[in-house]
Amino acid sequence: MRFTIVTLFQGYFAGALESGILGRAREAGLVTVDFVDLRVFGEGRHRVTDDYPFGGGAGMVMKPGPVVSAIEVARAASPGCRVVLLTPQGRLFRQPVARELASAGREGPGGLVLVCGRYEGFDERIRPYCDDELSIGDFVLMGGEAAALVVIEAVARLLPGVLGAEASSEEETLSEGLLEYPQYTRPRSFRGAAVPEVLLGGHHADVAAWRRRQALVRTARRRPDLLDAAPLSDDDRRWARRAAADEA
């Protein structure tokens, strides 16, 4: 799958894209990452990409000309791509959105173009040139580069072959709309805290049932908002209600 990043700071990505699973996925050709340098499209002798906001106010605003020109170059290089503006005003980037983008990236030839802003935001006239807007949360960063890395990691790990063990992406936190169950490894006892016996018995059905109940309990106590959209059975909902009542 192809990712194209429109940014003023290409160097921001060097370490993250070369390390770990993402680095190996790039080496294997499962993921490609290209860049479009916004500074190239800056205006005037100093390659300016921002200016003061009309109407006054603090900070600077990304100029439409450089950003739209960069988007057009990215589209020309990746026909059929999906251009995503990274902004706190976008729809919330959650696991279902990651699956949606991974599916679109596998099926479409152009992949994703991720547009990273800086300063106080984008000139409003940039938005019509994008296909989507995403936010990674209700907070403000210094730019869109960190958000772009979040999107790339979340989407890339859903692509066939990237994780190696395909079950890893299916059983993890939020894969079924729930937080993940508790995980344990050796030693069996650590400073007086023991691994639950059910995980040591080798009974796969018992382990699966325990993990499901633990995921429900953890979600009910930590992120009850997720339960409304999760695909739950009647028995699941009883466990969730019991966990919520115990917490209260």
Residue-level pLDDT at 141: 94
Residue-level pLDDT at 167: 45
The total of structural domains in the chain comes to 2
Q: 38 with 7: CB under 8 angstroms? A: yes
Mean pLDDT by 10 residues, the chain (248 residues): 97 94 96 97 96 92 97 97 96 96 82 94 96 96 97 96 69 74 95 96 95 93 91 88 78
List the domain range (segments joined by +) for residue 197: 189-247
Residue-level pLDDT at 6: 98
> Do 223 and 107 have their domain in common?
no
CATH number of the structural domain spanning residue 212: 1.10.1270.20
Answer whether residue 179 is part of any domain: no
> Do 23 and 144 have their domain in common?
yes
Answer whether residue 204 is part of any domain: yes
> Do 138 and 62 have their domain in common?
yes
Give burial (CB, 10 Å; 0-12/13-18/19+) of 134: buried
237 vs 241: CA distance, rounded Å = 6
Answer whether residue 165 is part of any domain: no
Answer whether residue 226 is part of any domain: yes
Give the contacts of 143 (CB within 8 A, at least 6 positions apart).
7, 8, 9, 116, 117, 118
Residue-level pLDDT at 166: 56
> Do 151 and 42 have their domain in common?
yes
Q: 113 with 75: CB under 8 angstroms? A: yes
> Do 193 and 93 have their domain in common?
no
Answer whether residue 176 is part of any domain: no
